[in-house]
Structure 1
Amino acid sequence: MAAGYLTTHVLDTARGLPAAGIKIALYRVSGNSHRKIAEAETNADGRTDTPILPQGKFKAGQYELIFFCGDYIDAHGLNGEAVKFLDQIPIRFGISDEDAHYHVPLLLSPFGYSTYRGS
């Protein structure tokens, strides 16, 4: 059994705070096929309460996290426009080491975002 696992969190760089209440969906990607394997919501610390892909379910392959940020941006008055610039943010990435901890955070602002492989 693989000992690795996947975590994520969201930081609101416009407000300088963790982003609470953002729904996140995790998909396993194979060619043009996407299969949802997990769903979570960020807590007060901007993190999910448990790894979004825990040990035992963690395996090599292509994945996609979708962060549903539009409602959060609106709720905090960060948009200022009739049409959201950012709503759903997909991040596609690969897992190759089944015994590693992968951390894929989202740094969010109303008009841009970034990510990286964290620890």
Structure 2
Amino acid sequence: MSTSTTASVSTHILDTSIGRPAEGVAVRLAARTGREADWRPLGGSATDADGRCKDLPALPEGTTHVRLDFAVEAYFEKLTFAKKQAEAQQDAPAHRDSGPAVFFPEVAITFAVVPGEHYHVPLLLNPFGYSVYRGS
């Protein structure tokens, strides 16, 4: 809930490699009250079937910077496992790429906030890249 003395944050994740929301990604939220201040962990959530985190903790009064940490490695490992199972059931040729399921196992996004504003920060994600922006 946003008041005149605090900012608020929301996010969602779209997996651009499959054109769908990314479900089940753990998201942690941290805040600090100045550029030189220590980060204060506030808690976290996980994305729902729509790729949204609807229950992120509120930001404390005086927050000037926010960090969202997305744990994407487990999400992509689960997708890779499901894909391999589906290929095995269809007698498809084995995928010979022996690399990791994801190049970026974690995504950390840090941004500045001002009191009274809402910040929606979507993550567009695929196994080998990502982008973020301030949404509405």
Sort the TM-score into its range (normalised by shorter chain): 0.7 to 0.9
Cα deviations across residues 66-97 of structure 1 (Å, max 9, x unaligned)?
A: 0000010111118x51474111100000101x
Give 1 or 2: higher strand fraction: 1
Aligned residues: 115
> What is the TM-score with the length of structure 2 in the denominator?
0.74
Aligned to 1:22: 25
| Aligned-residue offset at 1:53 | 4.1
In our comparison, the structure showing a higher alpha carbon Rg is 2
Give the stretch that moved more between structures: 14-23 or 81-90: 81-90
Indicate whether 1:95 and 2:113 are aligned.
Answer: yes
RMSD between aligned residues: 2.2
> What is the TM-score with the length of structure 1 in the denominator?
0.84
Distance 2:27 2:69 in 1: 6
Distance 1:112 1:87 in 2: 10
Q: Which amino acid aligns with 2:18?
A: R
Cα distance change of structure 1 residues 117 and 94 upon mapping to structure 2, 3 Å threshold:
same
Distance 2:10 2:21 in 1: 15
Distance 2:20 2:102 in 1: 21
Unpaired segments of 5 or more residues in structure 1? Answer: none
Q: Which amino acid aligns with 1:104?
A: V
Distance 2:52 2:24 in 1: 9
Give 1 or 2: higher helix fraction: 2
Aligned to 1:2: 3
SS state at 1:99 partner: coil
Q: Which amino acid aligns with 2:48?
A: N
Indicate whether 1:39 and 2:55 are aligned.
Answer: no
Taking the TM superposition and a 5 Å limit, the aligned residue runs for 1:48-87 are 48-50=53-55, 52-54=56-58, 57=60, 59-77=62-80, 80=97, 81-82=99-100, 84-87=102-105
| Aligned-residue offset at 1:32 | 6.1
Unpaired segments of 5 or more residues in structure 2? Answer: 84-96
